[in-house]
Amino acid sequence: MDPYNPGSRAIQERFGVTGIADHIGRSIGTGIRPVAAAFLELQPMLVLAAADGDGHVWSTLLTGPPGFARATGPHTISVAAPPPTLGPAPVGTIALDPRTRRRMRLNGIARPSARGFTVEAEQVFSNCPKYLQKRELYAPDLTTPPGQPLRGTALTAAQERFVRAADTFFIATTAPDGVDASHRGGFPGFVSVTGPTELSWQDYPGNAMFLTLGNLESDDRAGLLFVDWRTGTTLQLSGTAHTDYRPDGLRTTRFHIRRTVEIPSASPLRWSEPEYSPANPPLPQDSA
């Protein structure tokens, strides 16, 4: 069975990387290997990609003590967190450890459970550490409760500064074959705010899979998640995205905001200042 949907295949062919993608695609499976299960059980956070009841796609940060997300079998994980929907629904997840620059992705079908929810895996794979900033984890802040969600349809001036200062964000996309959660990273300023309702970023060379861009070929809905690693505040954006392809091979993704949700101190996790990835490309001079 082909691990890629037609959108991903079309982009792989556009850039002449089908052979590389085929080689990497052999690492995508439905089983959770013991090393992946052990990695997951050590993580205090999990990023979830899912659509809400109105069809808006969101990327959400889930946190808990290590073990709150764990494998319960060779094809299933259990997460002690509120379920994304009341019934079975496709989701994507990414477990990312800034301490070690390791990450694993698991996409499948989520179902409510007594503990929170389970995900029956359809795709399980790891990614290289490219563009991951290294951070150390401090003691969690268990005394500051999450603030009230601040909802809107455009970025405030403070949220624009939040986005411009980011060195990392997560992106949720969807397609007929499922939902995916992915990561983007770079030096602060790699995400441009081109207006209160539009962001853009250069799509850096990756692993030749083109899962995110492939999904956007068939469904332009997307959700972004920005995290203030020092305070635990999260900024979620839901909207649509498309990618512009230039003849010189550069590609820029543009995101149009429809919904915003900012939650002060959403996460109790507190992280150090970053050690930037050596893979981060320099910013254009006019963005420095």
Domain residues of the chain, as ranges? 6-277
Spatial CA neighbour of 212 closest among 12, 46, 2:
12
Q: How many CB atoms lie within 10 A of CB 35?
A: 10
3-state secondary structure of 57: strand
Q: Which pLDDT does position 128 carry in this prediction?
A: 84
Q: What's the mean pLDDT when you consider all of the chain?
A: 95
Separation between Cα atoms, residue 283 and residue 288, nearest integer Å:
6
Tens of pLDDT, residues 248-274: 889 999 999 999 999 999 999 999 999
Question: CA 109 to CA 213: how far, in whole Å?
Answer: 21
Is residue 286 over pLDDT 90? no
Asked whether residue 285 carries a pLDDT value surpassing 80, the answer given is no
CA 216, 59, 97, 72 torsion-angle sign: negative
The label of the residue with tokens 């070690």 reads 100
Average pLDDT for residues 152-181, to the nearest whole number? 97
CATH code linked to domain 6-277: 2.30.110.10
Q: Is the dihedral of CA 12, 220, 167, 196 positive or negative?
A: positive
pLDDT of residue 162: 98
pLDDT over 90, % of the chain? 91
pLDDT at 206: 86
pLDDT of residue 287: 47
Check: CB of residue 168 under 8 Å from CB of residue 184.
yes
Tokens of 261: 């949700």
- The alpha carbon torsion through 56, 62, 67, 72 (nearest 10 deg) reads 0
Residue 103, pLDDT above cutoff 50? yes
Alpha carbon distance 26, 32 (integer Å): 15
Note the pLDDT tens digit of each residue in 47-60.
999 999 999 999 99
